[in-house]
Amino acid sequence: MSQIIEVQLPDIGDFHDVEVIEILVGPGDSVQVEDSLLTLESDKATMEIPSPYAGVVKELKVTIGDKINQGDPILTLESGEAAGQGDAEAAEAAETPTESQAEAPAAPQAEPEPQAPAGEPQVLPVTIPDIGDFKDVEVVEVLVADGDRVEKEDSLLTLETDKATMEIPSPHAGVVRDMRIQVGDRVNQGDPVCEIETEAQAPAPAEPAAEAEAKAAPAAPAPAQERLPGEKPSRKRPVIAKPSDAPKGKAHASPAVRRFARELGVDLYHVPGTGPKGRITKEDVQDFVKRTLAEGAPQVAAGGPLQLPRPPEVDFSQFGEIEERELGRIKKISGKHLHNAWLGIPHVTQFDEADITELEAFRKGLKAQAEKAGVRLTFMPFLMKALAAAMREYPQFNASLSPDGEKLILKKYLNIGIAVDTPNGLMVPVVRDVDKKGVFDLARDLMDVSTRAREGKLAPGDMQGGCISISSLGGIGGTQFTPIVNAPEVAILGVSRAEMKPKWNGSEFEPRLMMPFSLSYDHRVIDGAEGVRFTSYLSQLLGDIRRLVL
């Protein structure tokens, strides 16, 4: 038998008239015990209110912007429990705090400020105050550093649990010394935070106001820390890429949104909030990530709002003899481009293999004719022709995304970039109009661009305008690899060394020359099914080159 239960705001400590900033459920929603119903925010804490019962929401009693207190009705639930059992539990709940009530954070209580002897500064320890029943609470922000001046009640740290975010205020005014807490630490009541060096206090007898203020004024700090009398000290913020990225104020977000942002590596100070009073929602974080990626990945690599952890600085000389060697100019340029492409493109790599037994026999049969034409006919021109035919069949592979990521630009020309290993590093010259040339012409173009690449004579235009790239390691070795898409292209083909394998022909095993290859592609443009169709079609073309004339 179901019953209607009124859910009231549980004990939330010493907070009064706390504002409702998010309503996480609506009429008709099913909730389980401990599912969050509301998000409240005070000056010092953000907290989510869990449901003490399971059931279906019938009616909301609050709206965003309301200010509520312990015992105020939140909503009504239709519970599936038996009426008698529900009444008994309700009576018990009236006398015993629920688990969710015990979890609600009390306001962090500032420590009583000891009175320093007149005229003497004092160094006072600061510890984690009473934060309720929470244990091993994670530090998500450290808002001050050694040398910072703080006033009483200025926030020092931000802590976060599954249900609440709370700031720890300073119990004293003075200068921060010996900060012992770092982001990621887990703390409990009584753990040391830092020390506060208080300022010298004037004797109690009345003095002229101007003279008293002069005695109470602190020693002049370094120029970078100067501030007007009574001005609040600025909090430390995460490192920003440029002045225009500087935050306008505190980032307001629920614990779930903060956790979601940290998982994506997003600094919430840079995310504009669209919720009530500038509240940051999960959708705001997602939109910010999309915009940042659409603007280009260099901002990511440079340590902007989307920040990746930097590698640790290690003094390798302590382990033995070392030698430092400058990276070549080409490797620096290509390395930055590949890094940005890897971070900015959601890669998928499809692996396949092709039976090139007949194709290789055909190529060898053309050796004499190729010599008369003055070219060295390798496997690459045949691969380029097959790849061009596959791109005509699947035009989404011969495309690029528009800068805003909203449109697909289909190309009517077909140019292929060929990765060339040079003494100075990897270079990718482009062979143009592959679909309009024969294998001898392509062999001649390959000889030309490869020679100029190794001699360092390529012009910038020789490496622009590619539609897709080929990276072949077959002449070196290996079985499979995952090439990085050469943006703004949407796919790259990686070719490995062919080898003889036994293949079943229906009646017996026979030796066949099998060439493994891999296709990496931009998953924003090409889905998995399209990738498999493309590699399967390319494998068929390489297995029977006569298909190219169909």
**pLDDT tens-place string over residues 63-102:** 988 999 989 999 999 886 433 343 434 334 433 444 334 3
CATH of domain 250-301: 4.10.320.10
Residue 192 and residue 129: Cα distance in Å, rounded?
10
Indicate whether 331 pLDDT > 80.
Answer: yes
Neighbours of 311 (CB within 10 A): 6
Residue 392 and residue 187: Cα distance in Å, rounded?
61
Task: Look at residues 162, 100, 104, 169 and name the one whose alpha carbon lies nearest to residue 137.
Answer: 162
Neighbours of 107 (CB within 10 A): 19
pLDDT at 250: 56
Compute, in degrees rounded to 10, the torsion defined by CA atoms 210, 213, 219, 225.
-100
Helix/strand/coil for 284: helix
Q: Mean pLDDT over residues 32-52, rounded?
A: 82
pLDDT at 119: 55
Q: How far is residue 118 from each of residues 98, 124, 202, 209, measured CA to CA in Å?
A: 48, 15, 6, 17
pLDDT at 312: 79
Q: How high is the mean pLDDT of the chain?
A: 80
Indicate whether 45 pLDDT > 80.
Answer: no
Q: Are strands 123-127 and 55-60 parallel, antiparallel or unpaired?
A: unpaired
Indicate whether 263 pLDDT > 60.
Answer: yes
Task: Look at residues 429, 394, 414, 421 and name the one whose alpha carbon lies nearest to residue 521.
Answer: 394
Q: What angle do CA 83, 88, 91 make, to 5 degrees?
A: 125
Domain(s) labelled CATH 2.40.50.100 in the chain stretch across 3-103, 123-199
- Name the CATH topology of 3-103: OB fold (Dihydrolipoamide Acetyltransferase, E2P) (2.40.50)
Residue 229 and residue 226: Cα distance in Å, rounded?
10
Find out whether 108 and 131 touch, Cβ atoms under 8 Å: yes
Beta bridge pairs of residue 187 = 137
Grade residue 336 by pLDDT with cuts at 50, 70 and 90: confident
pLDDT at 400: 96
Q: Mean pLDDT over residues 442-455, rounded?
A: 94
- At the top level of CATH, the class of 329-549 is alpha beta
Helix/strand/coil for 434: helix
Q: Mean pLDDT over residues 364-383, rounded?
A: 95
Q: Cis omega (within 30 of 0) on the bond before 27?
A: no
pLDDT tens-place string over residues 217-252: 444 433 334 444 444 344 333 333 333 443 444 567
Higher pLDDT residue, 465 or 280?
465
pLDDT at 350: 96
pLDDT at 432: 97
pLDDT tens-place string over residues 124-183: 999 998 887 778 888 888 888 888 888 888 888 888 876 677 888 889 899 999 999 998
Q: H or E stretch including 67?
A: strand 67-68
pLDDT at 261: 82
pLDDT at 379: 96
Q: In terms of C-beta density within 10 A (0-12 exposed, 13-18 middle, 19 or more buried), how is residue 507 classed?
A: exposed
Q: H or E stretch including 351?
A: strand 347-355
Q: Mean pLDDT over residues 24-37, rounded?
A: 88
Beta bridge pairs of residue 57 = 77
- Residue 530: φ, ψ to 5°: -65, -40
Find out whether 118 and 204 touch, Cβ atoms under 8 Å: yes
pLDDT tens-place string over residues 173-221: 999 999 999 988 999 988 999 999 987 654 444 444 444 444 444 444 3
- At the top level of CATH, the class of 123-199 is mainly beta
pLDDT at 466: 96
pLDDT at 115: 52
| 523 among known catalytic residues | yes
State the number of CA atoms in the 13 A half-sphere of 186 facing the CB: 5
Residue 372 and residue 350: Cα distance in Å, rounded?
39
Q: Mean pLDDT over residues 433-458, rounded?
A: 94
